[in-house]
Amino acid sequence: MTIIASLLREAQLPESPTARLDIELLLAAALGKTRSYLRTWPERIVGTEAAQVFASYLERRRQGEPVAYILGQQGFWSLDLEVAPHTLIPRPETELLVELALQCLPAGQGRALDLGTGTGAIALALGRERSGWHMVAVDRVPEAVALAERNRARLGLANVSVRASHWFSALEGERFDLIVSNPPYICSEDPHLSAGDVRFEPSSALVSGRDGLDDIRHIIANAPSHLVSAGWLLLEHGYDQAPRVRELMAQQGFEQVESREDLGGHERVTLGRLPC
């Protein structure tokens, strides 16, 4: 007979920096319960089937597979999102991008664009917070487009539309009050690509040329023709890329260019505004 407390005590994930959290999330999912249930009812008996599911989850995590992919879901902002291996896992640091975008999106009406939407996390978070705005979310990967649309439909956000587009390729003639993106920004030779959870994420959503800036350069160069006068561009980037991103924005005529730090003290998001 196995009880919750003993499973939590005996389970080991020595390679995970968040081992306790991972174990609790996996056991709660195997039981179909919340993490608080584990603490409230530590002496409850775990059935054979649930114990086997938990064991299979643990083995996948020991092999390095991210918890979000194992469970097929990830929390972001105020949303619970479906995730899958053909999209990036939404990360807490990207919530800074949402916070800054909301500061640029006043109450009222307007149009905003999320480039490379993946799960739809950024567009859906903005759409939830700004019901009067229409959010357009695009991605070039068909599976990502379908996933983002499933998340949109499940959340009931009619003010968000999901489309297939490789950056601006399917948006000719369209202009927006704000463009936001968390594009690939890792250099192709970065050793972190072969370590940790990132091994399981799609390289097309991570890697962007030898310096990690190929996609950022493309977005900055083309954004002015898709922004209205005084429109905003906000980009997430690597911890050491802010000076170069600011330079690229300034070269394209953006004003009020600045970078903001994430909770770790790294300049993580750079924003700029077109002249009036």
Residue 209 near residue 264 (C-beta atoms within 8 A): no
The Cα–Cα gap between 143 and 197 comes to: 21
Q: What is the rounded average pLDDT of the residues 213-241? A: 95
The Cα–Cα gap between 97 and 269 comes to: 6
For the chain, give every domain's residue range. 4-63, 85-273
Q: Best-predicted range by mean pLDDT among 40-54, 59-73, 223-237?
A: 223-237
Whether residue 1 is predicted with pLDDT greater than 60 in this model: the reply is no
Give the relative orientation of helices 242-251 and 214-222 as an angle to the nearest 10 degrees: 30
Element (H, E) at 113: strand 110-115
Give alpha helix (H) positions in the chain. Answer: 4-10, 19-31, 35-40, 48-62, 67-71, 95-104, 121-129, 142-155, 214-222, 242-251
CATH architecture of residue range(s) 85-273: 3-Layer(aba) Sandwich (3.40)
pLDDT value at position 276?
86
Right CATH number for 4-63 from 3.30.530.20, 1.10.10.10, 1.10.8.10, 1.20.1440.230?
Answer: 1.10.8.10
pLDDT value at position 15?
80
Indicate the pLDDT class of residue 187, thresholds 50, 70 and 90: low
Per residue in 114-134, pLDDT tens? 999 999 999 999 999 999 999
Taking phi first (over 0 means left), then psi (-120 to 50 degrees means alpha), and beta for anything else, what does residue 126 get? alpha
Long-range residue pairs from 215-218, CB within 8 A, at least 24 positions apart, any chain? 215/116, 215/167, 215/183, 215/184, 215/185, 216/183, 216/185, 216/241, 216/245, 216/248, 217/248, 218/167
pLDDT value at position 189?
58
pLDDT value at position 204?
59
Per residue in 202-224, pLDDT tens? 655 566 567 778 899 999 999 99
Angle subtended at Cα 98 by Cα 97 and Cα 104, rounded to the nearest 5 degrees: 95
